[in-house]
Chain A
Amino acid sequence: MIQARGITRTYQTHGSFTGDRTVRALRGVDFTLPDGGAVSFIGESGCGKTTLGKILTGLETFDGGELVVDGVELSKLRPRQREKYFRRIQMIHQDPYSALNPTRTVEATLGDPLRMRAREKAAAGEQAGSWRERAAELLTLVGLEPTAVLPKYPHQLSGGQRQRVVIARALTVDPTVLIADEAVSMIDVSMRLGILSLLRDLRARLGISLVFITHDVATARYVGDGGELHVIYRGEVVERGLTDEVILSPVHPYTQCLLSAVPVMRGLEEPGPDRTAPTAALDERTPTPGCLFQPRCPFAGAQCAEKHPVLVPFGLDAAGQGEAAAAEDGSGHVHACFYPESRRVVGVEVGAASA
């Protein structure tokens, strides 16, 4: 189980054209990833998704908040002690082309980490089978034919096959958590569902939990049941709830804009009745003392430019009055907007609306 509380990360940049600038990549992100569970993060480019993924895998540091893995708060540990926790959290990168060394066969790619793992297990007195058997087992698990794939180089594999090899390599260290950062966006559409169902299957069969990062919201529906969707905007979670609930009845205007941008398959789907779009492009230089989305929000009202909304359960107003649809512990459908309203923005299957 992973609990993140108020994670912040700020970068100082020194551009020759733009001068010194502070980028608040993450502004206090909370989430809980139960064992075997799935959380998805969606948002447009530059909103902080990769930064979060890197922090979770120890590839990036954070400057505020707490990261608790299996009950242990990581910032209290020394770097060497931390390593043990981060090892169980493996990242699958966006680009299966650059993730694999072009001069090494699949056998070599899997062999090194597997032999190391076998030595570790032996040292710990655990039983360790042969690494070759384990390599075959992992390749079969990710849907590849071991004898055909083991001698191949990356360029001899399709994009989908390469991503499966990348996943197999991540599995060599027996991780409990996988972080998939845009894991299917560089792959042909025709192969994406295969990779998504593999991730779903790893959750079901091995109890691996999943952090799924994407700008393509539709793919978040395919990583399995019970997943929570977090909508992130400029380093801040602005809406959270069960994946299908957020997709079908989003209440935050930013979520509504993101979902409205999902193309409608004309002929098979009709556009949602409340479809909307941002009123302006993202411009990080505009000062936003109030709601971060205010300069682009089609529904901004009186308070929005001055006050900063925080996450509250849907159904409660900002003063905490009303019927809440969320539980006390913060689970359930929450949003950070002064004027939340449920809107139907995604395409609906032709006939489904009238039926």
Chain B
Amino acid sequence: MSEVEVRDLTVEYQTSVGWLPAVAGASLDLRAGQITGLVGESGSGKSTLALSLLNAVPAPGRIAGGTIEVAGVGDLTRLGGKQLRKARGGAIGYVFQASQNSLNPLKTIGRQLLDLGRSHEVGDLRALIARAKDLANRMGLDGDRVLDSYQHELSGGMRQRVGIVFALVLNAKVLILDEPTTALDMLSQASVLDIVRKVHDENQLSTLIITHDIGAISEIADRLAVMYGGRIVEDGPLLDVLRRPTHPYTKALIGATARITGDVDGARALPGRPPDLTTVARAGCVFRDRCPFAVEVCAQTEPELETFESGRRRACHVEPSTVLTGPVLTGTTGTPAAVGEPA
């Protein structure tokens, strides 16, 4: 069962050369009770996809096609006005990228909570505050103190937790976190991730965590989706995907992660750079200029995201077994000239 079903979603931004897709025909499910990790390099379209789950793509952007079915709400792409405002926060809680800086510096956290309650026409504001304190306490914060604080009085990890309080205080069943730990040190990261898992379990949420660091979510996610050039290129149960990545990009991302044990020379940076919406390939596979497995057809035909075994999907022309057993990584650790990114 899925709380959220995204189908063929295309999201475009207006550029000097016309409307171009940042998300192109993406389909993704957020399953009830599961944490889904969405990974990919900067610019791959993760935040755009996540913001469209609120139907809140920033100008000059628009949802150009596809549907987003949210349980109990309907197709979000068709909602507007009051219904949409109710769904944001009410059904779907969102913690923004760099949310450490997204609080209002001039108002205490408590005042901002009351504003949120009023804008959602919450009748019992007292109960709202009580619930916020309870959430804060369960996340290891001192609820009373936090509500009386201004943003600058809180550390990065504390602000991230306050963001989660805001996202959940209206009883949202879907929680979306965009890069929740990117600016945090290791101990704060570990405690924020711990808390996300705990709150997720206690409130039986369906959670989406977005990051460019597979390592950071590998401990808490149930499912993994990998995004590149506006496409979902692979997804499946996290353990299975980490053990047996069948898309060359997934494999390269895993291999590029600095690891705390094992062979230092085993890990390699990805060569080249991820495309942005003006440079992404218009035909064929979007990963082909960085792909060590590319064959002729990759330049002509875009591979479709297809289920290739129970619970797993991939978008690649080459056989899963070829990718699995092929070269681990594409980069080299040799001289800097060899690891250099072509300009």
Contacts and interface: CB of A to CB of B under 8 A. Distances in A.
Given A190-B252, A267-B218, 17 more contacts: A44-B186, A143-B335, A143-B336, A149-B343, A161-B273, A189-B213, A192-B269, A193-B256, A194-B339, A222-B258, A262-B260, A263-B215, A263-B219, A264-B219, A265-B257, A267-B240, A347-B261
Contacts of A17: 153
Contacts of B214: 189, 265
B256 A190 contact: yes
B260 A221 contact: yes
Contacts, number: 174
Nearest to A265: B218
B270 interface: yes
Contacts of A159: 42
B75 interface: no
B256 A265 contact: no
B343 A218 contact: no
A352 B263 CA distance: 11
Contacts of A188: 41-42, 212, 274
A158 interface: yes
* Shortest beta-carbon contacts, A-B, top 4: A143-B340, A148-B343, A194-B269, A267-B242
18 contacts: A45-B185, A140-B337, A143-B335, A143-B337, A164-B340, A190-B256, A190-B270, A191-B269, A192-B256, A192-B258, A193-B258, A193-B331, A257-B187, A258-B186, A263-B217, A264-B219, A265-B214, A267-B238
B243 interface: yes
Nearest to A45: B185
Interface in A304-355: 346-349, 352
Nearest to A221: B264
B333 A261 contact: no
Q: How large is the interface on A (under 10, 10 to 19, 20 to 34, 35 or more residues)?
A: 35 or more
A152 B259 CA distance: 33
B140 interface: yes
Interface of B: 41-42, 140, 153, 155-157, 184-191, 193, 212-219, 238-240, 242-243, 252-254, 256-262, 264, 267-271, 273-274, 331, 333, 335-343
Q: By CB atoms of chain A within 10 A, which of B187, B215, B253, B257 has the most?
A: B187
B180 to A, nearest CB: 13
Interface in A246-279: 247-248, 257-269, 277-278
A268 B243 contact: yes
Given A45-B185, A261-B189, A266-B239, A158 B273 contact: yes
B259 A218 contact: yes
Q: By CB atoms of chain B within 10 A, which of A142, A257, A268 has the most?
A: A268
A218 B260 contact: yes
B186 A261 contact: yes
Contacts of B216: 263
Interface in A227-243: none
Contact of A352 (B186, B254, B262): B262
Contacts of B338: 143
A288 interface: no
Q: By CB atoms of chain B within 10 A, which of A197, A257, A261, A347 has the most?
A: A197
Contact of A349 (B189, B257, B261, B333): B261
Interface string A117-143: 000000000000000000000001111
B343 A145 contact: yes
B223 to A, nearest CB: 12
Given A17-B153, A45-B155, A45-B156, A160 B336 contact: no
Contacts of B189: 261, 263
A152 B270 CA distance: 22
A247 B262 CA distance: 11
Contacts of A352: 261-262
Contacts of A152: 343
Contacts of B254: 265, 268
B92 to A, nearest CB: 26
A302 interface: no
A281 B156 CA distance: 13
